[in-house]
Structure 1
Amino acid sequence: MEINRIKNVTSKVISNIWAKLEQVSFDFTFKNGKTERLTHEVYGRNDGVAILLYNPSTKKVILSKQFRIPMYVAGVKGGFSIEVCGGAIDKNESPETTVIRETKEEVGYNVNELQKVTTLFLSPGLMKEQVHLFVAKYNDDDKVENGGGLEAESEEITVLETDFKDALYMIKTEEIIDARTILLLQYAQINQLLD
């Protein structure tokens, strides 16, 4: 069994400012029978959610634009990312409750009928965070607030209502480079949600 190949796991917290960075050491037995002591870093906090809102009547989707410090440090797009709505799951909160809350906070829409797409790891070599992906229909009547994020969380989010075809083109031109957003837009395309 694969689990028996990992033994003597130890963990040391390196940082716990925004999320926890751990140094994890373990004995790993390779298929050839050799055992080696390995050390990796694992980063993350709570699991997250992301949702693509789509309007079958107008053929539009709701996206957002916000500043992301890792992109800034990497020298990409001045740090600004075009993304689907998303956020972290709070303690004792379900993914569904979280995605409904985040949708209202970030883009100002109430959503009711969620469709679960999948749960995945975005970077399993480093991140322990799993992201629950959803899609949901919206219309103008579902707009209840301006959105823009929470001031208490130092969020400044620009809400973008975009033609679905334009959003797909933004993947091609690399205006959209967020993996969750690309996955959900391509899911919508493959499943013909806006045809």
Structure 2
Amino acid sequence: MRNRIKNVTSKVISNFWAKLEQVSFDFIFKNGKVERLTHEVYGRNDGVAILLYNPSTKKVILSKQFRIPMYVAGVKNGFSIEVVGGAIDENESPETTVIRETKEEVGYHFSKLKKVATVFLSPGLMKEQVHLYVAEYNDDDKIDKGGGLASENEEIEVLEISFLEALQMIENKDIIDARTIMLLQYVQVKKLLS
């Protein structure tokens, strides 16, 4: 199959927090027609997300924090209940990032990390890939209060709730973050808390 994308050009529209590019290219359709298309692509570094679950208590660790895109969309006053997550820093592995973010956001350490998948959350616009993980925790794994970093203007509420309550929160639309829904459903499908 021949290359169906030719003459790709890119123009940076904004590079404030992440890069917004306007990408133009010639796309060759299956019928041979060639069309010049332009799309916007947004993104920064790839990211990670992790769901901590406790097999003994059947609880999970989630966080609640303010998200300006949700606020602008008029959803939940901008507050999101979600798994721990964050951007991968330069020269940092996804595994190192998920350990760092878990300590910063919720104050936990864990010993056994399981990779679930690497996904695009909005492939029509975002170039960011998110590495999804799960890990077991217990009460002894709490090493810090969490809450995020003041230097990054984070104010994160740590939530420890029952797994069944978390699943109900999906039904009630209290949890609407895609990463969180995917990881909670992964734990459910794999029967990690049954």
Q: Percent identity?
A: 80
Post-superposition Cα deviations, 1:117-162, rounded to whole Å, max 9, x if no partner, equal 0000000000000000000000011000000000010000000000
CA drift of 1:112 comes to: 2.2
User: 2:123 corresponds to which residue?
Assistant: 124
Instruction: Report 1:100-111 matches (<5 A).
Output: 100-111=99-110
Please, what TM-score do these two structures have when normalized by structure 1?
0.99
Q: TM-score, length-normalised on structure 2?
A: 0.99
Q: Which residue of 2 aligns with 1:53?
A: 52
User: Following the alignment from structure 2 to structure 1, what is the Cα–Cα distance between the partners of residues 57 and 83?
Assistant: 18
2: CA distance between counterparts of 1:157 and 1:16?
A: 26
Q: Does the residue aligned with 2:92 lie in a helix, a strand or coil?
A: coil
What are the residue-to-residue correspondences of 1:48-87 with 2, within 5 Å? 48-87=47-86
CA contact (8 A) 1:100 1:112 kept: no
- 1:144: which partner in 2? 143
In 2, the alpha carbon distance for the partners of 1:112 and 1:89 equals 20
Q: Which amino acid in 1 is paired with 2:76?
A: K
- The letter for the 2-side match of 1:77 is K
Structure 1 partner of 2:114: 115
55-64 or 109-118, which moves further after superposition?
109-118
1:15-34 equivalences in 2 (<5 Å): 15-34=14-33
Task: Identify unmatched segments of 5+ residues in structure 2.
Answer: none
Query: What are the residue-to-residue correspondences of 1:164-179 with 2, within 5 Å?
Result: 164-179=163-178
Q: 1:149-190 CA distances to partner (integer Å, 9 max, x unpaired)?
A: 000100000000000000000000000000000000000000
1:13-61 CA deviation, whole Å, 9 max, x = no partner?
A: 0001110000000000000100000000000000000000000000000
The answer for unaligned runs of 5 or more in structure 1 is none
The one-letter code matched in structure 1 to 2:49 is A
Mapped partners of 1:149, 1:44: distance in 2 = 22
2:117 and 2:102 map into 1 onto residues whose CA distance is: 18
Q: Which residue of structure 2 lines up, in the alignment, with residue 159 of structure 1?
A: 158
> Partner residue of 1:190?
189
Secondary structure of 1:91's counterpart equals coil
What CA distance in whole angstroms lies between the structure 2 residues aligned with 1:112 and 1:69? 33
Deviation (angstroms), 1:111: 1.7
| Counterpart amino acid of residue 89 in structure 1 | I
- Residues in 1 aligned to 2:24 and 2:168: alpha-carbon distance in whole angstroms: 43
